[in-house]
């Protein structure tokens, strides 16, 4: 284990001026912050440190994490025999530059044996302004990876396999909360009240506090104060709920909201507004099929109602009525603070009620008037598609399911902010997919990851990754994940990688797997 550490001492001081870096977790104290970007083999790696100008510091790296609390603070390294001092200020290494920022540059070797190796790091400063005269940085870990590659987390989910769950990065970005979802199969999930917390430093999952109510097909929204609002969903294979609850990361507990939403809701959408409130739109009231097995009761139970959650009172008020009923639609906050809503199923087909009728237009909620107005007919029907705001304010609406049998589609539409209307892209995606998840990359591109092919009721999970380039209006295939998953979650991590959790496997069963995808 010593060999992968040795190359780390080949560090070059660049003297670059950086923006202040936020501290995170594990009792980091004083003015001491450490940042690790993704480290890809064969590429450049640029860690950064921030501390008091002129502070003497020692920087350590280890092959295992740990927790050792001393009177001056907590060190989160294993203190193994392989512990290495990368920077020894006590032995004469340069002190922190006058701007309090230190940027380091390193070319990582392209050595296959290093793939997946994880290193754990922290630094300590002598700082009279810090408690007990020592500044102890937040801990960081580096897992050596390859571009377009997935590596499993150090542990799988601790307590349950899940799909159709939700994942929310918490405010300090070190932790990600995994919330509810369904065990079993995609078409017959068993709702769960379980939660888990992913720790990006140790790259492990811990069992989180249990919710008050099991939920699948719910929503989860991180509020401005760091709490997490969870609304609706199914609490059994047939029972939709109107209740909501809030996770407080300070107390690590769940509390029910003061009141419920006006309707029971599942397959609805929740959008965090600029003023800190949350707009809840649509969804449906029934997820039980008819005696003959048809989905007609599901299609006919959609809502055009909305609720608005106020975090200052922890309660809901009735929102304005939408133009159309919507189930399995998408909603995003636009740069001008309005909310774009599009897609979904609005009812059963009036001709053949065993088939769905899709919504035909998008609509926009305006906070100034508290009303919805139409924004043109969407070029394609779309249910459980992906919707992402692009850097220029336009919106990509892609994939999902369409047609009478709700079969995965490769179509994609673009909502153009300048014209307040929809347009068809020059080309469709190279593959069809529904129940995928997306990641916004550093260059503004959108990665559409995993998903399923076939009908929503009977689809096969895939491992494909498709990237949309907003500059060229085109899609390209990237290297596959290496494993198939659908109805999973993808969450950004502070180093620029993404956490991919759960979902169903190609046989349709919920999975306990979790991976880190490096774009």
Structure tokens at 197: 């917390």
128 contact partners, CB below 8 Å, separation of at least 6: none
Residue 164 pLDDT greater than 60, yes or no: yes
Q: Please report the pLDDT score of residue 27 as a whole number.
A: 59
* CATH topology match: 3-146 vs 150-518: no
What average pLDDT does the segment 340-360 reach?
Answer: 96
Residue 16 pLDDT greater than 80, yes or no: no
Q: Where are the alpha helices (DSSP H) in 180-338?
A: 296-299
Q: Could you give the CA distance from residue 386 to residue 384 in angstroms, rounded to a whole number? A: 7
What average pLDDT does the segment 372-401 reach?
Answer: 97
What average pLDDT does the segment 307-334 reach?
Answer: 98
Helix (H) or strand (E) holding 3: helix 3-6
What average pLDDT does the segment 449-465 reach?
Answer: 93
Q: Please report the pLDDT score of residue 263 as a whole number.
A: 96
Q: Please report the pLDDT score of residue 321 as a whole number.
A: 98
Q: Which of 141, 132, 140, 137 is nearest to 70 (CA)?
A: 132
Is the whole-model pTM more than 0.85?
A: yes
Q: Could you give the CA distance from residue 381 to residue 466 in angstroms, rounded to a whole number? A: 20
Each residue's pLDDT tens digit, 24-61: 346 578 889 999 999 999 999 999 999 999 999 999 99
- CATH number for 150-518 (one of 3.40.50.20, 2.160.10.10, 3.40.50.720, 2.120.10.80): it is 2.120.10.80
Question: Percent of the chain at pLDDT above 90?
Answer: 84
Question: Percent of the chain at pLDDT above 70?
Answer: 94
Q: Phi then psi for 91, rounded to 5 degrees?
A: -100, 10
Q: Give the range among 88-92, 181-185, 252-256, 282-286 with minimum mean pLDDT.
A: 181-185
Q: Please report the pLDDT score of residue 287 as a whole number.
A: 85
Q: Please report the pLDDT score of residue 512 as a whole number.
A: 95
Q: Could you give the CA distance from residue 48 to residue 139 in angstroms, rounded to a whole number? A: 13
Cβ atoms of 422 and 341 within 8 Å: the answer is no
Q: Where are the alpha helices (DSSP H) in 231-315?
A: 296-299
Any idea where the domains of the chain sit in the sequence? 3-146, 150-518
Each residue's pLDDT tens digit, 278-318: 999 999 999 888 888 789 999 999 999 999 999 999 999 99
- Tell me, which fold does domain 3-146 have in CATH? 2.20.130
Higher pLDDT, 481 or 187: 481
Residue 137 pLDDT greater than 90, yes or no: yes
Structure tokens at 444: 């503004």
Structure tokens at 115: 């793939």
139 contact partners, CB below 8 Å, separation of at least 6: 25, 26, 28, 34, 65, 76, 77, 120, 121, 122, 201
Q: Please report the pLDDT score of residue 24 as a whole number.
A: 36
Each residue's pLDDT tens digit, 217-275: 999 999 999 999 999 999 986 689 999 999 999 999 999 999 999 999 999 999 999 99
Q: Which of 277, 178, 175, 280 is nearest to 223 (CA)?
A: 277
Higher pLDDT, 22 or 402: 402
β-bridge pairing 140-143 and 134-136? unpaired
Q: Mean pLDDT across the chain, nearest whole number?
A: 92
């Amino acid at each position: 284990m010593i060999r992968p550490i040795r190359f780390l001492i080949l560090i070059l001081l660049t003297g670059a001026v950086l923006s202040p870096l936020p501290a995170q977790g594990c009792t980091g104290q004083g003015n001491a912050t450490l940042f690790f970007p993704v480290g890809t083999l064969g590429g450049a790696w640029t860690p950064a440190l921030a501390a008091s100008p002129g502070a003497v510091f020692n920087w350590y790296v280890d092959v295992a994490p740990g927790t050792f609390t001393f009177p001056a603070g907590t060190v989160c390294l294993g203190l193994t025999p392989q512990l290495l001092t990368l920077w020894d200020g006590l032995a004469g290494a340069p002190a922190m530059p006058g701007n309090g920022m230190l940027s380091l540059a390193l070319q990582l070797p392209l050595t296959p044996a290093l793939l997946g190796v994880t290193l754990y790091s922290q630094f300590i400063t002598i700082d009279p302004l810090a408690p007990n005269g020592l500044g102890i940085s937040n801990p960081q870990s580096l897992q050596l990876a390859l571009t377009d590659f997935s590596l499993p987390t150090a542990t799988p989910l601790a307590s349950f396999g899940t799909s159709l769950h939700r994942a929310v990065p918490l405010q300090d970005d070190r932790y990600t909360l995994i919330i509810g979802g369904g065990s079993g199969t995609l078409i017959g999930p068993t709702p769960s009240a379980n939660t888990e917390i992913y720790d990006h430093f140790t790259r492990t999952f811990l069992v989180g506090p249990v919710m008050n109510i099991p939920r699948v097909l719910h929503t989860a929204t991180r509020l401005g104060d760091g709490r997490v609002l969870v609304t609706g969903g199914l609490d059994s294979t047939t029972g939709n709920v109107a209740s909501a609850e809030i996770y407080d990361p300070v107390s690590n507990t769940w509390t029910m909201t003061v009141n419920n939403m006006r309707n029971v809701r599942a397959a609805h959408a929740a959008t965090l507004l600029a003023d800190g409130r949350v707009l809840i739109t649509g969804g449906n009231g029934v997820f039980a099929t008819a005696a003959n097995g048809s989905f007609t009761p599901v299609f006919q139970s959609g809502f055009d109602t909305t609720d608005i959650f106020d975090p200052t009172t922890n309660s809901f008020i009735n929102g304005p009525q939408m133009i159309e009923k919507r189930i399995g639609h998408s909603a995003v906050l636009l740069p001008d603070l309005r909310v774009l809503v599009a897609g979904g199923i609005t009812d059963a087909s009036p001709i053949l009620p065993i088939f769905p009728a899709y919504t035909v237009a998008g609509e926009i909620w305006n906070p100034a008037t508290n009303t919805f107005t139409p924004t043109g007919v969407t070029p394609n029907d779309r249910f459980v598609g992906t919707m992402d705001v692009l850097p220029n304010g336009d919106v990509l609406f892609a994939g999902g399911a369409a047609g009478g049998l709700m079969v995965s589609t490769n179509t994609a539409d673009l909502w153009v902010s300048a014209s307040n209307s929809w347009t068809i892209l020059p080309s469709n995606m190279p593959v069809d997919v529904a129940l995928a998840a997306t990641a916004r990359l550093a260059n503004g591109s959108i990665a559409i990851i995993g998903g399923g092919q076939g009908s929503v009721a009977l689809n096969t999970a895939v491992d494909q990754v498709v990237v949309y380039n907003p500059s060229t209006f085109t899609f390209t295939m990237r290297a596959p994940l290496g494993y198939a998953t659908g109805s999973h979650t993808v969450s950004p991590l502070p180093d620029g990688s993404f956490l991919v959790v759960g979902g169903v496997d190609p046989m349709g069963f919920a999975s306990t797997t979790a991976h880190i995808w490096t774009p």
